[in-house]
Chain A
């Protein structure tokens, strides 16, 4: 800092010169928990490898003033094969100008997996930076009959070592004290070796010196794993779990959904009754309340989906599921990491696509990205629920099982299988097979997740859903309402058409039939005609390109216009207006099946396209994905219509 211009600043307050300390560690080593505890920031932490994919920065108070803390992506090594590892390696390499090298490092080591964690330590200690080691999960180590002498570990590593369990206050105090002065930290006298075999020897020697006894797997975990990781038994349990999962989503959410539906209907009536201006009342009641309400109805199901996902994750089952699937994925030419990415896509394709950053080979990354949008994300849920409700009566049963849940299970399974096949296909297209790289995956011991972490996950998901409703969906529905209601017909025009201007429902039907939206919907009719879609469905499908849930909102508006008192009945009663099928019900079983399958495959999500662009670095892959998924959706929908038509 000798080239300072202007007056010298008082020592210690220069913001630009504020010390930067980076957190390095394996996924699941408690790194993010420590980061949150030190900075007071709330970032999502999970029981699941690969959660930390973005860079987090925060300010931590230390004994000598604040320092900037950076949470680096979790990594098992610095060999710089996967994008995550490249980031970390780049940050730690002073010669790499693309990343700022921090002034010091905090290395988190999981005491329960110390042998593996020390391999990363060997690489980190070779970086020419002050390092301080924080050993985490020492409480669990003790509980599971493991042992570790921290002082001896400190001597063997040659750097300060201290234990911090789950961000405990007193231990954090010691760490803050230490973070004040990285310059005073002891540095390793002899850097650890570089080549793999020598590192193993170094790790053995350090562990022996620190009196390390690895923790025993607790008996409960071992017994459960004997069943849950069994190739046959485990797969059966996995499928059964998923099955119960979807049954639960349907049966538990229904009563709450009914309440929300009634609430929005009452609100709509209230608005209609109290606003004198007809068009404004229509916009608010049908457009805003009808459209938004139609989507918000699915909040209970979204909440339930995330309760179940975070329960499965927190209990430690998702890691097992990924392990089981690793075998299946291996057959598809992919590795377990790809399954982790695909699994995240159950919630939303965006985190799934971002999780591909942990994949070392570009070929696998692209293949997984192409498959991820096919996994059934939570945005498809409202569409599926609406269409299944029309297709299958709620009391229909197959034996003792609700038929609606069964269809839903089938759709999720179909999405998953299609995603795998797509990934397999694209990994095949990418010519040469790279070297098989080891896949590390934590098998956390089974434990009950804290209510707080489950609630937090659900809260985040619901907030995200409502925010999406508030922005994209509200905006789209208002535009749609305008398109559906303009141009407003004059009385003369109505009279010419033989519509009684006093019959509001007849007027509404006439208006929609001759609206701008109808023109658009009719314009694309040739494309969707073979699938049995009429212009109203076409408008819904086109609108859902912004976000899938908009389809539900559009159908809600169309139905509300014909029969505002009972939109769901109105939807079921919709009839085809013109063409050879005129007069027949619109939503027949073959058409519904075609629609469901279309939504299973089509890439109707602007956010996913944007993320694909960002993660793949060009418009090429999003364009390919959109095109092939549309073609696939169209073909499969036609197939579904023909098959269901032949059966019924």
Chain B
């Protein structure tokens, strides 16, 4: 094992004790959902019946353990297999070959808007809706009080961009679009913010 193993850790999934949500480095996998095929180290655990389910989320892999096993006992084995599998991104074959990278970004955006950043907007009486994802650009619609407030818009764009980047580094920009405006407004592509934190 010459290549360093990617850093991972496991988190609990509320309500599903047999499931562990393994947080993996953002950008290590470019697909979401249940893969058609996984690399050999993980596939072996599926074949052996230790694992019963593998599902990819943005910057995370959901693994479900067979009923007879416990994470306390099998955690180290599964971790090793997952880390080995992550060093082979090509081995993860998505179920349908539409545009897995775009779907990954869309899933990341949805997760962000449903999470803390979305909650922040809602706490200010507004809301954020995902409109479209294309070529690394995420179009977001500002609704409620956020709409029409340029400062709020700019702040939100930055926040959303930072949050999405932490799940999918391939994102290049977040644009806020008006519900009636054409999605490709003039000069609408924002430059990268000067400061961003990973």
Contacts and interface: CB of A to CB of B under 8 A. Distances in A.
Interface of A: 147, 155-156, 158, 186, 188-194, 197-198, 200-206, 208-209, 211, 213
Contacts of B24: 205
Given A191-B72, A191-B75, A213-B197, A202 B7 contact: yes
B81 interface: no
A189 B80 CA distance: 16
B11 A201 contact: no
15 contacts: A156-B23, A186-B12, A189-B17, A190-B79, A191-B75, A197-B5, A201-B4, A201-B5, A202-B8, A203-B7, A204-B7, A205-B9, A205-B24, A208-B7, A211-B166
Given A189-B71, A201-B6, 17 more contacts: A147-B197, A156-B11, A156-B23, A158-B12, A186-B12, A188-B10, A190-B71, A191-B72, A194-B76, A197-B5, A201-B83, A202-B9, A204-B7, A205-B24, A208-B25, A209-B11, A213-B197
Nearest to B9: A205
A205 B76 contact: no
B7 A190 contact: no
A589 to B, nearest CB: 68
A123 to B, nearest CB: 14
A435 to B, nearest CB: 24
Q: Which 8 A-B pairs have the closest CB atoms?
A: A190-B75, A201-B7, A204-B7, A190-B10, A205-B7, A205-B9, A189-B12, A190-B71
B7 A189 contact: no
Contacts of B17: 189
A394 B9 CA distance: 68
Contacts of B71: 189-190
Interface size class of B (residues with CB under 8 A): 20 to 34
Contacts, number: 65
A247 to B, nearest CB: 51
A643 B6 CA distance: 68
A186 B72 CA distance: 14
Contacts of B23: 156, 205, 208-209
B20 interface: yes
B76 A158 contact: no
Contacts of A203: 7
Contacts of A208: 7, 23, 25, 166, 198
Nearest to B24: A205
> Which of A192, A197, A201 has most B Cβ within 10 Å?
A201
Contacts of A209: 9, 11, 23
Nearest to B73: A191
A158 B11 contact: yes
A158 B9 CA distance: 10
Which of B6, B7, B76, B166 has the most A CB atoms < 10 Å from its CB? B7
Contacts of A156: 9, 11, 23
A203 B23 CA distance: 12
Nearest to B19: A189
Nearest to A158: B12
Nearest to B197: A213
